[in-house]
Structure 1
Amino acid sequence: EALDEPEEGWTVALLNDRGERKATGSYYTPDYVVKYIVEATVGPLLHEAVEGARSDDERVEGVLALNVLDPSMGSGHFLVEVTEGIARFLVEMGVAPDELSADGEAELAYWKRRVAQSCVYGVDANPLAVDLAKLSLWLATVAKDRPLSFLDHHLRTGNSLVGARIAEIQPGGGKKQKKAKADDGAQLSMLEDDAFLRSVSNAVGSIWLIEESPAETLEEVREQERLYTRLREGLTRRYARLADLATATNFGVDVDRSLWKPLTDYAAGRAPYAPPQFALWLEESETLAAEKHFFHWELEFPEVFFDRQGRPLGHDAGFDAVVGNPPYVRQESLGDFKPYLAEAYPEVYHGVADLYVYFYEQGLRQLRRGGWMSYIVTNKWLRAGYGEPLRGYFASEGVLEEIVDFGHAPIFEDADVFPCIVLLRKLGREESDQDRGVRVVEFPREALNADIAAYVEENAHTVPKKRFGKSAWSLETSAVDDLMEKIRQNGVPLAEFAGVKPLYGIKTGLNEAFLIDTLTKERLVREDPRSAEVIKPYLRGQDIKRWSPEWRGLWMIFARRGIDVDAFPAIKRHLEQFRERLEPKPKDWSGGRWPGRKPGPYKWYEIQDSVDYWQMFEQPKIVYQVIQFHPQYGLDMSGVLSNDKTFFVPAHDGWLLAVLNSPLIWWHNWRYLGHMKDEALNPAGWRIEKLPIALPTDEARGEAEEAVGRLISRTRSGQEARRDTLNWLRVEFGIEKPGQKLEDFAALGPDAFVEEVRKRRPRGEGRLTPGTLRDLKSGYAEMAEPVRQARTEAANLERRLSDLVNDAYGLTDEDVDLLWKTAPPRMPRLA
């Protein structure tokens, strides 16, 4: 039974095991993103294809001549959208195909089939993905009483990044070979080989016959299959042996260069006999080709790179558009692949670049001059050091048109990868884009349901082309960039201002052994009073509060390097129960998974990190979190330790604390610090030590020091009130888990407070009596009102501090207005 054609087309998602998807970096791209990318890249090409055409036939020919590639096609989502978009364009042109038969096949269905076999190209290293892409396109092009389209000629299995270029087929063909002087007979120029050119000419002719056939009958589809089989035998398989051999030399197949000419003659079938070593080299290369999915673009898609006579197309060679969502594979997983990437992609290679970087260079390579490309990838390369070569490559080879930065918006399910869409063209002949601007928009998560094109049109701003060179790219408006520069210019690096650098909290290597509660601490001290000498109070990241941290009664066994553990028998007995998991891994360990800690020069009973600066913890210090959701810097005067979820600056400086907690610095840091999952900031030590701190006047410092002191006092009073209230609720009402609302009880009204107490009381406690309700409301009023008054005072103090900080950086009223108009999430509000 025939399938009814869906109104909006079909797509099959590649939903295999989630672990495999994560391992391969595959994420299903949402439909609205795919539609936007395809429209942005293919749309201009469609209008260009029909411009100047004098007849319907010329317009159709121009459109069907377009070649659109997805080099990591997955299940074919982008290719289906390309097919839908081009087919609808042809229908809207009003061109009725002559081949439409009397049985009434719909125009759209007809054009989808023609477009699918003429215009769309896809490659994927996963054979399953290729099969699913074919299925997606079959479902998208299914038509009543028509056979399924032949798609093998355009959808191929292979690794888009690994293969040989025809002009460079020689041992180790790459940048070294291009620089090397070729010996006589050591280099085969396939482009000058008559047999190769004839094979290419025949192949291109076969592809044209396949694409021009509407394939309305099963016999016509079988004829397409026969043509493609002959093509594969006459070109791809025959010359792929040479290309495989050239590529394999990059993966350890050691070919004697002096034998390259006779070896290639043998591989191409021009020499029937050869030494046994030749067969061995070819066998090794074929094994590697199958294992690593070598893919040689010009042999797989000859019609894209050669004309009907087998001659290279020169600047016109390549695809008209490249689209897709390259795999999200981190550089740590590339391993032995990196030497090949360094050789094959010298323009963009960086030792810590992720895989998508190389898809960018490959995509631009496979474009014709003037062609369009757009991927959705992470935005990290826009600013990261490893993105510098790629940014420079784009600046020299591409014409940036548009950047849509989604930041933390959840485009992909279960993956906060900071996606962005970059739209660019390959630089055309004699084209210069030095005076062009780049359209830029930052797309917030709350706008995700909006139409991307409409949002971009309404909210995009233009950034001068000159700002997109090798250096980190800013997507901000010129006004914001100017303000960032003013802040930088009016401050000195924090390390210079404070005379110290930020230091990291203590990483124990096994928190279960070294981090204990008060009951365990008291037991160990009872067993041996000397235990108190090495048990120290410590702060967690979650204990860091704005202005003043709050210790939660937790302790660390600070068994630092060099401790005589036998002098502390109770501590030793406690740690002994974790000994297997505490042992450092031997450097020569080869017995599988090690149950203990990582290798290092520490004893089993010592904390993992040396913490040579441990005495700095005893000084007054400004502490802050490793993962920042809010600007929370606090002054600790008690000398407590802190764990590895904290940083600290050994300084007792109220002005510095005021600057770090200011709206201005949070605004700056949102644009300066690295971003983490869920919109958190990463205040890495090397970044914070360079943070620009403005030098205050003596008057401003004095006023700030007084205000900060009062804020610390009010904060500690509020923390004490919270502890007293929660303790009262625990003792009188049995509430062990108060929840966020009771933690912030002063923000509740009396009725809401009572209702929350009702919810949090243990089950079976019975109803609250009228007398108890009166006591609850009375107690609430007594405790909440002072906290509210303190918060009002704190808000006034923070407003004044913010003004002092803004003045110190030289901000004008217009600068302050811009600061708040472009405020990032969780900017400290001063109301």
Structure 2
Amino acid sequence: MEDSTGIPEDVVEHGEVFTRRWVVEFILDLCGYTADRDLVALRAVEPACGTGAFLGPMIERLSQSAKAYGYSLNDAGDAIRAFDLLPKNVEATRKMATAVLTAAGWDEAESEMVVSKWIATGDYLLRPAELGSVDFVIGNPPYIRLEDVPETRTLLYRAACQSMTGRADIYVGFIELGLRSLREGGRLGFIVADRWMRNQYGKQLRKMIGDGYSVDVTIQMHDVNAFEESVSAYPAVSVIRRAEQRAAVVANTTSRFGPDDAVAITEWVRGDRREPVLNDRYEISELPRWFRGEDLWPSGSPAVLALVEDLNERFYSLEDRTVGTRIGIGVATGADGVFVTRDSELVEPERLLPLSMAQDTTSGTLKPSGHYLVNPWDEGSLVDLADWPRLRRYFESQDGLLKRRNVAHRQPSRWYRTIDKVDHKLTAREKLLFPDMKMTSHPVYDPGGTYPHHNLYFIVSDTWDLKVLGGLLLSKVAEMTVGAYCVKMRGGTLRFQAQYLRRIRVPRPEDVSAKDADALAAAFEKRDTAAATEVAIRVYGLSEETASWLKSTNQVRSD
């Protein structure tokens, strides 16, 4: 069954995640939507009200404010606007809102009339221009992947929301259009998955915020029981203001975080002196500024963010031209069952390229497991199968599978190619290998002779001694940086993908003393993370306080 927007109802309902009352109150307080203010003179929008988790407390506060400032209920007719895609949600929320108002002493008929004006069935993403400028946009927008939305409506969403690129979730559009609707000084307060801060599809939204808004508060709540049901939503509370960026409040919470802590953080945010707080429930601090531009935004404790900002200011990206280093990923075949083999007699020996696999790096020393790539490439060009009869017979025996791949459909005459070309120069080069998923930073040295499989990322350099660089990348500093930027998997597994490895900051090789270079290489050879971290602290010139914090944290975990 579809609702009036053409989006299947089960998809909409699947995207509904209802927020606990105390979390709602927390967000309202952080945004300044409080009963002591003249809320009737302001305008608030709840863009996806569901059954009223946010709207109920908002109406309670508006009612108290109206009475305190001497307004009638009719005077508040323009103070709230709320939308939902599902008519049944709108009906339920209207009943709830009317009950809240009548319980507060307002006339029932008048309450019903005002509530019908406040709450409407509709798609917020396609009608924010009707609202004019507003003072607050507050809520928990739905989590629905664009691929679950009918194509016609997806096209409308993309046209309305410039930031909704790639495989974005539609909550990205709610953030963009909510921000655009704010008048100067207006605030958006959402609890939403924080993946957009660290994924490619959030690039345009991050740039938009950096160009015209202030990230006032961001609170990571991944382990907090913030919703009425258990979901893996990786939520964060963000308060973003239409204003020039000022200092940003950053907090990181644990599973112990609860209602009393929310009140304490609100008081801390409102206070004049903001000394950092660290306990077993949350850590909170103030950064002098937020990260700008479209680059990935880091996450983590305030101490992590402060260290990342410091390294970003003083050192070079791991792939900066200045340090002469390049990052890449191993070969993707599109059919590993055909292209990857351990049979050394399968085809002509010249067409077998030794592969390094993620499993070969487990010990920290590369131990090839005898896998080969059945290699159709020769210096960047596909080989002529007529020149390699054994290769031809093998590929033809597998042509049903190979020709079904998308890459073969796009180029039928090149049906036996791998997705990626093979760079034959890479095989002989020494390189550092990183398995994609790991609990700790795990660079492994390859002296040359193998080609990386697609579950491995590699680093080559024209300037660095790779064992020295390996020592830096083994350190807690490198792991902390990747952990701040990457999208973590369940259980805290880190992703050592190219986009995150590029966020690691390094000095120029010539700026590392001979003594420190030797010590880093030795630590790398011994797989001694603690020793590598000690040297890295010196190389990066970290303060005693930062060094002490870094060594005391559990940034490095055992696999």
TM-score of the two chains, using structure 2 as the length reference: 0.73
Unaligned runs of at least 5 residues, structure 2: 1-7, 269-276, 278-282
Q: 2:28 aligns with which of 38, 44, 50?
A: 38
Cα deviation digits, residues 725-744 of structure 1 (max 9, x gap)? xxxxxxxxxxxxxxxxxxxx
Residue identity in the other structure for 2:361:
I
| 8 A Cα contact 2:432 2:459, kept in partner | yes
User: Which residue is 1:423 aligned to?
Assistant: 239
Residue identity in the other structure for 1:800:
A
TM-aligned CA distance change 1:342 to 1:802, over 3 Å:
closer
Q: Does 1:29 align with 2:19?
A: yes
How much has 1:450 moved relative to structure 2?
A: 7.2
Q: Does 1:635 align with 2:437?
A: no
Q: 1:124 aligns with which of 67, 73, 84?
A: 84
Task: Give SS of 2:410's match.
Answer: coil
How much has 1:126 moved relative to structure 2?
A: 4.0
Task: Give SS of 2:117's match.
Answer: coil
User: Which residue is 1:48 aligned to?
Assistant: 37
Instruction: Give aligned pairs, total.
Output: 513
Residue identity in the other structure for 2:424:
W
How much has 1:582 moved relative to structure 2?
A: 1.4
Task: Give SS of 1:664's match.
Answer: helix
Cα distance in structure 1, aligned partners of 2:171 and 2:399: 43
Q: Does 1:661 align with 2:479?
A: no
Q: Does 1:453 align with 2:184?
A: no
| 8 A Cα contact 1:624 1:648, kept in partner | yes
Cα distance in structure 2, aligned partners of 1:157 and 1:509: 45
Q: Does 1:827 align with 2:556?
A: yes
Cα distance in structure 2, aligned partners of 1:499 and 1:118: 59
Q: Does 1:386 align with 2:216?
A: no
Cα distance in structure 1, aligned partners of 2:321 and 2:177: 44
Cα distance in structure 2, aligned partners of 1:497 and 1:470: 22
Cα distance in structure 1, aligned partners of 2:230 and 2:360: 28
Cα deviation digits, residues 217-238 of structure 1 (max 9, x gap)? xxxxxxxxxxxxxxxxxxxxxx
How much has 1:573 moved relative to structure 2?
A: 5.0
Where relative contact order (Cα < 8 A, 6+ residues apart) is larger, the structure is 2
Q: Does 1:579 align with 2:399?
A: yes
Cα distance in structure 2, aligned partners of 1:698 and 1:426: 50
User: Which residue is 1:252 aligned to?
Assistant: none
How much has 1:556 moved relative to structure 2?
A: 3.5
How much has 1:509 moved relative to structure 2?
A: 0.7
| 8 A Cα contact 1:541 1:646, kept in partner | yes
* Larger Rg over CA atoms: 1
Residue identity in the other structure for 2:536:
V
User: Which residue is 1:103 aligned to?
Assistant: none
Q: Does 1:441 align with 2:251?
A: yes
| Equivalent runs, 1:53-132 vs 2, <5 Å | 68-84=44-60, 120-132=80-92
Task: Give SS of 2:468's match.
Answer: helix
Cα distance in structure 1, aligned partners of 2:460 and 2:118: 63
| 8 A Cα contact 2:434 2:443, kept in partner | yes
| 8 A Cα contact 1:546 1:632, kept in partner | no
User: Which residue is 1:324 aligned to?
Assistant: 139
How much has 1:447 moved relative to structure 2?
A: 3.8
User: Which residue is 1:244 aligned to?
Assistant: none
TM-aligned CA distance change 1:629 to 1:121, over 3 Å:
same
Q: Does 1:675 align with 2:487?
A: yes
User: Which residue is 2:332 aligned to?
Assistant: 507
Q: 1:622 aligns with which of 415, 419, 432?
A: 432
Cα distance in structure 2, aligned partners of 1:88 and 1:355: 34
TM-aligned CA distance change 1:141 to 1:503, over 3 Å:
same
Q: Does 1:489 align with 2:489?
A: no
Cα distance in structure 1, aligned partners of 2:372 and 2:99: 63
| 8 A Cα contact 1:495 1:690, kept in partner | no
Cα distance in structure 1, aligned partners of 2:441 and 2:223: 18
Unaligned runs of at least 5 residues, structure 1: 1-15, 50-62, 96-110, 166-295, 299-317, 428-432, 586-593, 712-793
Cα distance in structure 2, aligned partners of 1:631 and 1:669: 8
TM-aligned CA distance change 1:375 to 1:483, over 3 Å:
closer
How much has 1:26 moved relative to structure 2?
A: 4.4
Residue identity in the other structure for 1:654:
K
Cα deviation digits, residues 533-589 of structure 1 (max 9, x gap)? 43444333354336323444544323335234456666555544542331166xxxx
TM-aligned CA distance change 1:440 to 1:640, over 3 Å:
same
Task: Give SS of 1:675's match.
Answer: coil
TM-aligned CA distance change 1:665 to 1:326, over 3 Å:
same
User: Which residue is 1:376 aligned to?
Assistant: 191
Cα distance in structure 2, aligned partners of 1:573 and 1:410: 58
Residue identity in the other structure for 1:563:
V
| 8 A Cα contact 1:581 1:597, kept in partner | no
Cα distance in structure 2, aligned partners of 1:115 and 1:515: 72
TM-aligned CA distance change 1:544 to 1:702, over 3 Å:
same
Q: Does 1:608 align with 2:419?
A: yes
Cα distance in structure 2, aligned partners of 1:577 and 1:411: 55
Q: Does 1:541 align with 2:351?
A: no
Cα deviation digits, residues 65-94 of structure 1 (max 9, x gap)? 775421122333211333455568899x9x
TM-aligned CA distance change 1:36 to 1:533, over 3 Å:
same
Cα distance in structure 2, aligned partners of 1:75 and 1:362: 22
Task: Give SS of 1:538's match.
Answer: strand
Percent identical: 19
TM-aligned CA distance change 1:562 to 1:827, over 3 Å:
same
Task: Give SS of 1:75's match.
Answer: coil
How much has 1:654 moved relative to structure 2?
A: 1.3
Q: 1:406 aligns with which of 221, 226, 233?
A: 221
The structure richer in helix per residue is 1
Q: 2:458 aligns with which of 634, 637, 648?
A: 648
TM-aligned CA distance change 1:693 to 1:21, over 3 Å:
same
| 8 A Cα contact 1:494 1:693, kept in partner | no
User: Which residue is 1:221 aligned to?
Assistant: none
Task: Give SS of 2:124's match.
Answer: coil
Cα distance in structure 1, aligned partners of 2:395 and 2:247: 63
